[in-house]
Structure 1
Amino acid sequence: MNDTPLIAGTAHPDPLRQLGLDELRRRTSMKWRTYPADVLPLWVAEMDVPLAEPVARAVVDAVARGDTGYPVGTAYAEALAGFASERWGWDGLAVERTSVVPDVMLGVVEMLRLVTDPGDAVVVNSPVYPPFYMFVRSMDRRVVEAPLGPEGRLDLGAIEDAFARSTAGGRRAALLLCNPQNPTGTVHTAEELTAVAALADRHGVRVVADEIHAPLTAPSARFVPYLSVPGGEHGLSLMSASKGWNLAGLKAALAVAGPAAAADLARMPEEVTHGPSHVGVLAHTAALRDGGDWLDALLAGLAENRRLLDRLLAESLPAIRHRPAEATYLAWLDCRELGPDHEPAAFFLDRARVALNAGTDFGTGGAGHVRLNLATSPTVLTEAVQRMAAAVAGLRDGSA
């Protein structure tokens, strides 16, 4: 399947159309080993793509040199700064205000340790990435939800109320912002982020932004780095090439500080920087520097898959509501019309042999929903929806 035609408007074939199921099932990662072989896995955040050629070359060359020691230098940060300038028009990513960390979530933990104390509150905008809850609670902080509004956008009233409650009695607090939002794929606007920064300043709340999905913003939307908005200079951000180029197994990320948060980042323990993979740093650097054409082809393929999913649901599963995402390769499906007697993720796994993420794992607002990973081939995506539609049809006629 490697002779796929070039995708319109790009210099590369669509990465999502290059691998067949037989090839994918030879993989040994979580996505392909958690469930039996008859299950189509459209759940965990892995993409069904080959490595971008510049990334593969960087890894192969490092192995050939035996270059598998400890990471050093600022090449990763320099590559990210160049990418941010070219893609987002942001020239404010200063290399001297960055630090390499093992991955985004471990970086989040270290940033939260810098700006909160045990027992303090960390505000999240639910529904949101489940590890936000797990990691925050494991470091002895309290999760306070400020749920998204009905249209899946930041609810400034809910955020202000959560800030007021979290800082009562003079306690420190932080907002763990997901930008773009996982699972909804919402891209927060400059106006929304500026308003959040103003509220954070008013209440003395520090903002830590998980911006791992930023490279996966659709061409029709505009990603705005939190640190780029007025008031964002007090913030801390975690960025990575991991999601954009499918590098979860090559661990590396960058913590980035706004100008007024440089002293906070400087207090991060040195041992944290010993955790990233040197080969991971090389791979991420190559992706950001030389993987732009591959990324453009991926983004075009994801846009086609969003349109395909929308059409398939309208034709075969109109009971499931879906708002196409502005970023990520995730789809947030509202399955509440199927009724309260069936938890949708469990239902589709059992009756359709399609693995999805249960919405309840994403906090308030997740009940009755599932998260679907559409970073797969149109063939697999079509078969998955057909299986789901058949299962729902059986439910309706009583055969399920």
Structure 2
Amino acid sequence: MQRIAAEPLDALRNRTSAKWRSYPADVLPLPVAEMDYPLAEPIAAALIDAVRRSDTGYNQGSRTVAEAFQGFAATRLGWDVDPARVTCTADVSMGIVEVLRRVTSPGDGVVITPPIYPPFFDLVTESSARIVEVPMLGGIDEGWSLDLEGIEAAFEAGARAMVLCNPHNPIGMVPDAATLAALADIAARHDVTIVADEVHGPLAQPATPYTPFLTVSDAAREHGIAITSASKSFNIAGLKSALVVTASDRGDRVRAALPYEVEWRMGQFGAIASVAAFRAGGRWLDGVLASLDDNRRLLADLLADELPGVRYRMPDATYLAWLDLSELGWGDDPAAYALEHAKVALANGPTFGATVGRGHARLNFACTPEVLDEAITRLAEAASPVVE
């Protein structure tokens, strides 16, 4: 497999995105979920062509993106998507909020599963619902799983929806089809909605393929709504395009109730880039997955050699590593210590869940092997005065 090489630091520091403008030049920025790989050529060409023809007006709506996604989902994900059951919007977070507003009433409980992508906490409250935490079972040593009994108990207590992260950010777990089907059965018993954030789905490694929630059963299709995007897999988050996907009359009614402006929030460049990604980005994505596989294994080796007290489980999906840094003695928020003493920026663990995130941090390994090596070397040098 032809790997896609990440760009070197001197080129990356010319970028103006948040990852490269949030820290001083002496910091290695590894917190934000942006990849350091060059843009896929079909996407770049489509955007350049659009600029040359001054095609910078409003997007034409969901249909073209939905049809491109239909082909991508069928060939890469084993997912039969009906383009008529897709409504686009600006991004996954916006889609989650708008769907939650349709399927809950103010004050209703919404289940999330820490450690979890930090904006989930804000998205639930933005929708006027109430957060109900059901932490993941297990951990780094034995692996994680959804607490299905805990989730059902939350629904029995009155929660009306759940935001499922499939695959799971930050731990990189890919729930299997049986687990997702069991979750769907629970949702059906309690007549609740599973809002499935599946933006990292195409970034699952081939050995652990991701299962789209809406494919697992009739119950999942009836009680699930999926929200996805090309943004993470193809590194185009700033272009603003996402898809809300349904597979039942019940789900269609939710989409139909979305405000008119939700669809118009999709960016024109986001739509153009998404179509190019879904239609012609497969070879590039395969190369990125191969490079990410190399890096997740390299990270394991680097930690074993230089920071053996740090606990890490190789993720099965995403380019994000959930690290337990507790033994380093860097406090509840070791990312803060790492930024000050090692000049390495990591995502702050407690933001993923105040209790389960304590002593943890998230690291983005979608970078060159040299940057990853340098980051672990810096962390090891910062740790040595503390552990000696």
TM normalised by structure 1 equals: 0.93
- Which of 252, 256, 259 in structure 2 is aligned with 1:269? 259
- Give me the whole-angstrom Cα distance separating, in 2, the residues matched to 1:332 and 1:342: 15
- Give me the whole-angstrom Cα distance separating, in 2, the residues matched to 1:279 and 1:343: 37
- Which of 141, 154, 158 in structure 1 is aligned with 2:150? 158
- Give me the whole-angstrom Cα distance separating, in 1, the residues matched to 2:220 and 2:191: 13
Amino acid paired to 1:166: G
Q: Deviations over 1:338-373 (max 9, x none)?
A: 237463101111111000011100114111110000
- Give me the whole-angstrom Cα distance separating, in 2, the residues matched to 1:342 and 1:228: 39
1:249 matched to 2:238: yes
1:24 matched to 2:16: no
Q: Give 1:383's aligned residue.
A: 374
Amino acid paired to 2:156: A
Q: Give 1:57's aligned residue.
A: 45
Q: Give 2:338's aligned residue.
A: 348
Q: Give 1:136's aligned residue.
A: 124
- Give me the whole-angstrom Cα distance separating, in 2, the residues matched to 1:288 and 1:95: 14
- Which of 31, 36, 54 in structure 2 is aligned with 1:48? 36
- Give me the whole-angstrom Cα distance separating, in 2, the residues matched to 1:255 and 1:175: 16
Instruction: Work out the percentage of aligned pairs sharing the same amino acid.
Output: 50
Structure 1: 5+ residue stretches without partners = 1-8, 168-172
1:77 matched to 2:66: yes
Q: Give 2:319's aligned residue.
A: 329
- Give me the whole-angstrom Cα distance separating, in 2, the residues matched to 1:343 and 1:222: 32
User: Aligned-pair distance for 1:166?
Assistant: 2.9
SS class of match (1:152): strand
- Which of 291, 301, 307 in structure 2 is aligned with 1:311? 301
Structure 2: 5+ residue stretches without partners = none
Give the aligned CA root-mean-square deviation in angstroms: 1.2
1:200 matched to 2:187: yes
SS class of match (1:123): strand
Is the alpha carbon distance of 1:341 and 1:329 closer, same or farther for their aligned partners in structure 2, counting shifts above 3 Å?
A: closer
Q: Give 1:228's aligned residue.
A: 215
Report if aligned partners of 1:144, 1:166 keep a CA contact under 8 Å in 2: no
Is the alpha carbon distance of 1:125 and 1:193 closer, same or farther for their aligned partners in structure 2, counting shifts above 3 Å?
A: same
User: Aligned-pair distance for 1:331?
Assistant: 0.3
Q: Give 2:227's aligned residue.
A: 238
Q: Give 2:170's aligned residue.
A: 183
- Give me the whole-angstrom Cα distance separating, in 2, the residues matched to 1:254 and 1:342: 37
- Give me the whole-angstrom Cα distance separating, in 1, the residues matched to 2:157 and 2:349: 26
Q: Give 1:66's aligned residue.
A: 54
Report if aligned partners of 1:216, 1:244 keep a CA contact under 8 Å in 2: yes
- Give me the whole-angstrom Cα distance separating, in 2, the residues matched to 1:382 and 1:141: 43
- Give me the whole-angstrom Cα distance separating, in 2, the residues matched to 1:263 and 1:135: 21
- Give me the whole-angstrom Cα distance separating, in 2, the residues matched to 1:15 and 1:315: 24
- Give me the whole-angstrom Cα distance separating, in 2, the residues matched to 1:96 and 1:343: 46
Amino acid paired to 2:379: M
Amino acid paired to 2:67: E
SS class of match (2:245): strand
Q: Deviations over 1:34-55 (max 9, x none)?
A: 1111000000111111110000
User: Aligned-pair distance for 1:139?
Assistant: 2.5
User: Aligned-pair distance for 1:245?
Assistant: 0.7
Report if aligned partners of 1:178, 1:210 keep a CA contact under 8 Å in 2: yes
- Give me the whole-angstrom Cα distance separating, in 2, the residues matched to 1:43 and 1:388: 14
Amino acid paired to 2:373: T
Report if aligned partners of 1:214, 1:223 keep a CA contact under 8 Å in 2: yes
- Give me the whole-angstrom Cα distance separating, in 1, the residues matched to 2:277 and 2:21: 26
- Which of 323, 339, 361 in structure 1 is aligned with 2:329? 339
Moved more, 357-366 or 312-321: 357-366
